[in-house]
A and B are shown apart, each in its own frame.
Chain A
Amino acid sequence: MATLLISPTLIVLGLVIVYPVLAAVYSSMFTVPGVDPRTGFVEGGEPFVGLDNFASIFTGAGGRFWNAFWNTSFLTVTSVLLETVIGLAMALIMHQAMRGRAWVRASILVPWAIPTAISALLWRWIFDSEGIANTMLGTKVLWTTEGFQSQAAVIIAEVWKTAPFVGLLVLAGLQIISQEVYEAARVDGAGPVRRFWNITLPLVKPALLVAVLFRLLDALRMFDLPYILIGAGKESVETLSMLAQDEASNVRFGPASAYSVLLFLYVFLIAFTFIKLLGADLLGGRDEPGGKKGGRKSPRRQAGGGRSRQKEATA
């Protein structure tokens, strides 16, 4: 009976998730047909090559893959790190009871509401050789050329756009912290810094971790921002998604699928490790009463998380 009831969900999931993944794995085992030197026509059929497309990343042709791999990792780590810090700061500001709070909240969230492609175009103008960025800094940096400056441009634009997302999730976390905890701390004589480190941060951690996880997964498949802001085919900012798109647009669906599958595995691995290491906070942290347990070491936390999950299940 239970199987029957969830079967529509399973079918939909199978159609939109399992099938595309398997289809990508299948097509990653083929390569492009060559041109017959005699007739000049492309030979029919796509030759089966097994795992050659995956193996090729370890040979000479893999240079472009590894470059894209490190770019993806570097852009992800740096931008998510900055987003977390700035997003947290934004959330704290949005949380303050002050005049014009609604206005502040709205203005902080505007970047998040702009489609990435549009914001990439905006930043492209800003980073033009005669754009606002150079005028304000008094520099003559050619931001969109190869080199570290283009990576910096991507990171700045990415952080500008997605820090509000982190801010929004953290704000939700902040709003469920009871004021009584703060009052008690104030009575005990804790200053604002102490209150932040010992109350706010531990209590908002579950929400913060969810935000970071979402951002990690999202940033790992970054495509539109570097593609539009810096341009296709620039080594400094070519990500794995851009590499796969380039292969696909050159009608090489085998290698394109292989890169996509590798990206999928990479994202999966990161998500898995993240949840394994910090899973207690993600799955059960919110159930824990009070904030005093924030300092517990992770193995015990995980056990606690497991228990509270059971509680949820039986409840």
Chain B
Amino acid sequence: MSAIPRRLLPSTAVLAALTLVSGCGLGAKKVESGADATERGPITYAAGKDVSGVVPKLIKRWNETHPDEKATFIELPEDANAQRQQMIQNAQLKSDTFTVLSLDAVWTAEFAANRWIDEIPRKSFPYDKTLDPINGTVRYRGKYFAMPYASDGALLYYRKDLLDKAGIDEPPETWSEMQEVCRKVLKGQSKMSCYAGQFEKYEGLTVNFSEAVHSAGGRITDDKGNPTVNTPEAKRGLDSLVEGFRDGTMSKEAITYMEEPGRRAFEKGKTLFIRQWPSMYGVSSNKGKNNEVAGKFGVAPIPGQDGPGVSSLGGHNLALSSSARNKATALDFMRYMTSKQNSRRNLNDGSLAPVYTDLYDDPEMRRKFPWLPVLKKSILHAEPRPRVVQYGDATTAIQDAAYAALTGKKSSSEALRSLQKKLRALTP
């Protein structure tokens, strides 16, 4: 990292002046801002491993119509942390290797605050047609830094066959209703537990903890970004999980569950309800030797304390690397990749949850993906995970606190008190 670009940053006046100088041939690289980009030419698209296989098709179609502004797909590792590290490296070297970045929904604040990505012209992207909670993940301090590409929200998967057998027609809406259903269905047997989520100490725990707190009416951070976890509502949310582990609503081994172990447990009939992402729907619908639930489960919004629960948001947004070249092309490419037409293709071919409101109401898609209407409800009630610049530290602090409370190492109020202190130290 050279010192010169950093000195460029303090004010746009200095930036403009120095860009002029560098334009006269002093060697510094001339980089446009995303707002008034005119430069066109070849670009790259950096995203995590393309598991659904939809990206090459999209890029091929783009390259056919833009022979002079070809896009190259740079496939990063599947692990989110590894993706983030490579993108940060690219930004710190002020390299133009990556042009358009596919960012995890929780990275926006960090990338925007460090000026690793450019603010994008709000008017030229269709934010009015995408679901509002999803738009919340691309804003930083009221400015737009990315365009939603694909979304993800929580669903409550339940064993429809067992509920039907017990004469229950509707899946439960609240946490206590769910426990009531469990008492009825699971009477007199110990093989199946009531509920499971993702409680291993990793990002999934942050997701599940946030959902518990938000579903009880609490907030992790307020609108200004100040932490608000030391409240009765937050405690009520965390307590529901803590007591769930204590009274056997969740089995003891659920503390080791991530997405995959949880799915296997559900498919083996070890839990009646499980909180999962939509992607499990297709997987668990395939009949297999270790899967006894194919065709026997349904989905519902996750349960809350006094009504439907509040989901966390997953998904990816497309952003523009601030050190990239050919930003005019890049913005066009971002508009193309996130267009409604391609969002529909991604849903159809890769089961990627769309960001456009219309697609959730598309009858053909609804027939093909029965979880769509439920996911729409889930996302409409959703609350993004905390938008903190030092997200890595915030999520570690949350995991420490939640894990200590769930394993009984700390009382929930003690855990929340220390979490509040840690999150407070992370706010500017």
Residues of chain A with a CB closer than 8 A to B140's CB: 40
Interface string of A145-159 (1 = CB under 8 A from B): 110000000000000
Closest CB-CB distance, B53 to chain A, in whole Å? 25
Contacting A at CB under 8 A, from B343-367, are: none
- Max chain B Cβ within 10 angstroms of own Cβ: one of A45, A140, A246, A251: A251
Contact B253 A40 (CB under 8 A): no
Bound form: Cα–Cα A128–B255 in Å: 12
A115 in the interface (beta carbon within 8 A) = no
Closest CB-CB distance, A60 to chain B, in whole Å? 11
B368 in the interface (beta carbon within 8 A) = no
Return the contact of A42 from the options B115, B261, B393 (Cβ within 8 A): B115
Contact B10 A44 (CB under 8 A): yes
Closest CB-CB distance, B202 to chain A, in whole Å? 6
Bound form: Cα–Cα A144–B254 in Å: 12
Bound form: Cα–Cα A271–B133 in Å: 56
A62 in the interface (beta carbon within 8 A) = no
Among the 9-residue stretches B231-239, B305-313, B395-403, the one with 4 or more Cβ atoms under 8 Å from chain A is B395-403
Contact A36 B428 (CB under 8 A): yes
Contact B3 A45 (CB under 8 A): yes
Least CB separation from B403: chain A residue: A146
Return the contact of B428 from the options A35, A44, A142 (Cβ within 8 A): A35
Contact B255 A145 (CB under 8 A): yes
B56 in the interface (beta carbon within 8 A) = no
Contact A233 B399 (CB under 8 A): yes
Interface string of A55-95 (1 = CB under 8 A from B): 00000000000000000000000000000000000000000
Interface string of B1-14 (1 = CB under 8 A from A): 00100110110000
Bound form: Cα–Cα A37–B141 in Å: 11
Closest CB-CB distance, B254 to chain A, in whole Å? 9
Residues of chain A with a CB closer than 8 A to B428's CB: 34-37, 40
Residues of chain A with a CB closer than 8 A to B202's CB: 231-233
Residues of chain B with a CB closer than 8 A to A145's CB: 255-256, 407
Return the contact of B255 from the options A35, A40, A142 (Cβ within 8 A): A142
Closest CB-CB distance, A141 to chain B, in whole Å? 10
A197 in the interface (beta carbon within 8 A) = no
Bound form: Cα–Cα A37–B140 in Å: 13
State the main secondary structure of chain B at its contact with A: helix
B252 in the interface (beta carbon within 8 A) = yes
Least CB separation from A146: chain B residue: B407
B390 in the interface (beta carbon within 8 A) = yes
- Max chain B Cβ within 10 angstroms of own Cβ: one of A35, A37, A144: A35
Residues of chain B with a CB closer than 8 A to A231's CB: 200-202
Contact A233 B201 (CB under 8 A): yes
Residues of chain A with a CB closer than 8 A to B10's CB: 44
Residues of chain A with a CB closer than 8 A to B93's CB: none
Closest CB-CB distance, A223 to chain B, in whole Å? 14
Contacting B at CB under 8 A, from A206-243, are: 231-235
Bound form: Cα–Cα A142–B252 in Å: 8
Least CB separation from B396: chain A residue: A233
Return the contact of B85 from the options A36, A129, A249 (Cβ within 8 A): A249
Contact B389 A42 (CB under 8 A): yes
Contact B407 A249 (CB under 8 A): no
Residues of chain A with a CB closer than 8 A to B255's CB: 142, 145
Residues of chain B with a CB closer than 8 A to A250's CB: 390, 392-393
Bound form: Cα–Cα A234–B399 in Å: 10
Contact B3 A142 (CB under 8 A): no
Residues of chain A with a CB closer than 8 A to B85's CB: 249
With A35-B428, A233-B396 known as contacts, the answer to whether A44 contacts B256 (CB < 8 A) is: no
Contact B6 A233 (CB under 8 A): no
B168 in the interface (beta carbon within 8 A) = no
Residues of chain B with a CB closer than 8 A to A41's CB: 9, 113-115
Closest CB-CB distance, B204 to chain A, in whole Å? 11
Bound form: Cα–Cα A35–B115 in Å: 11
Return the contact of B253 from the options A42, A129, A146, A246 (Cβ within 8 A): A129
Closest CB-CB distance, A238 to chain B, in whole Å? 11
Contact A234 B256 (CB under 8 A): no
Closest CB-CB distance, A50 to chain B, in whole Å? 19
Bound form: Cα–Cα A45–B5 in Å: 10
Residues of chain A with a CB closer than 8 A to B286's CB: none
Residues of chain A with a CB closer than 8 A to B393's CB: 250
Closest CB-CB distance, A34 to chain B, in whole Å? 6
Bound form: Cα–Cα A195–B382 in Å: 74
B88 in the interface (beta carbon within 8 A) = yes
Bound form: Cα–Cα A142–B257 in Å: 11
B279 in the interface (beta carbon within 8 A) = no
With A249-B85, A251-B88 known as contacts, the answer to whether A35 contacts B113 (CB < 8 A) is: yes
Contact B113 A44 (CB under 8 A): no
Residues of chain B with a CB closer than 8 A to A129's CB: 253, 256, 261
Least CB separation from A230: chain B residue: B201
Contacting B at CB under 8 A, from A26-57, are: 34-37, 40-42, 44-45
Contact B88 A42 (CB under 8 A): no
Bound form: Cα–Cα A232–B205 in Å: 13
Interface string of B413-428 (1 = CB under 8 A from A): 0000000000000001
23 pairs of residues in contact across A and B, judged by CB atoms under 8 Å: A35-B113, A35-B428, A36-B428, A40-B113, A40-B428, A44-B6, A44-B9, A44-B10, A45-B3, A142-B256, A145-B255, A145-B256, A146-B201, A146-B403, A231-B201, A231-B202, A233-B202, A233-B399, A234-B201, A249-B81, A250-B392, A250-B393, A251-B114
Given contacts A129-B253, A142-B255, A246-B396, 12 further A-B contacts (CB under 8 A): A35-B113, A35-B428, A36-B428, A40-B112, A40-B141, A42-B389, A44-B6, A44-B9, A142-B252, A144-B200, A233-B396, A249-B84
Q: Which 3 A-B pairs have the closest CB atoms?
A: A129-B253, A35-B428, A44-B6
